């Protein structure tokens, strides 16, 4: 019984050491990955930047669900009301379903997806559809979910 308690105390001490080793930079990175609130303006800016970087034209971005917007009292940035609580018990996560339509070459789109994957903001791509507009130019529609606290 005593050795069991000593093992538990040793495990607790290890966990405390791990917790104390987390840097402020890591905490800030987690905050960007799962921001508090949808933080739609910086998220949209990032999506547009990545599209331009990869020679794609962002044609349309829709928040799936109820697309009416609420304006926060503390800022004039619209908060999409399509944001819904995530279906994970015990977690304080909300998801923001969205649809992105972009136009460009297949290779540019592949690079865009790679950049989205490397992006700090947590995003799950659920569906990709595409159609040929003219030779070597496609319209891609990406349905995804962004997460926030």
Residue with more model confidence, 108 or 30: 108
Asked whether the predicted pLDDT for residue 80 surpasses 60, the reply is: no
Any idea where the domains of the chain sit in the sequence? 1-32, 34-148
Q: How far apart, in whole angstroms, are the C-alpha atoms of residue 116 and residue 104?
A: 16
Averaged confidence pLDDT in the chain: 77
Q: What is the pLDDT of residues 128-143, one digit of tens each?
A: 999 999 999 999 999 9
Q: Are 94 and 51 in contact (CB under 8 A)?
A: no
Q: What is the pLDDT of residues 16-59, one digit of tens each?
A: 888 788 788 766 665 655 556 656 677 788 889 999 999 999 99
CATH code for the part of the protein at 34-148: 3.30.70.60
- Predicted structure pTM score: 0.62
State the burial class of residue 21 (Cβ atoms within 10 Å of its Cβ: 0-12, 13-18, 19+). exposed
Q: Is the dihedral of CA 29, 35, 36, 40 positive or negative?
A: positive
Q: Which pLDDT score is estimated for 75?
A: 34
Q: Which pLDDT score is estimated for 35?
A: 58
Q: Which pLDDT score is estimated for 70?
A: 34
Q: Are 98 and 143 in contact (CB under 8 A)?
A: yes
Residue with more model confidence, 94 or 105: 105
**8: number of Cβ within 10 Å:** 10
- Above pLDDT 90, what percent of the chain? 34
């Amino acid at each position: 019984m005593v050795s069991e308690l000593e093992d538990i105390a040793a495990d607790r001490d290890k966990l405390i050491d791990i917790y104390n080793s987390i840097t402020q930079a890591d905490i800030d990175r987690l905050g960007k990955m799962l921001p508090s609130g949808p933080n739609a303006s910086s998220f949209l800016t990032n999506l547009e930047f990545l599209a331009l970087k990869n020679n794609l034209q962002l044609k349309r971005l829709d928040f799936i669900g109820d697309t009416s917007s609420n304006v926060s009292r503390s800022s004039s940035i619209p908060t999409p009301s399509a944001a819904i609580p995530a279906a994970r018990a015990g977690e304080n996560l909300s998801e923001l379903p969205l649809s992105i339509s972009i136009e460009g070459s297949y290779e540019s789109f592949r690079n865009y997806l790679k950049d989205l994957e490397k992006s700090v903001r947590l995003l799950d791509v659920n569906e990709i559809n595409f159609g040929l507009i003219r030779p070597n130019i496609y319209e891609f529609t990406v349905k995804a979910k962004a997460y926030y606290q």
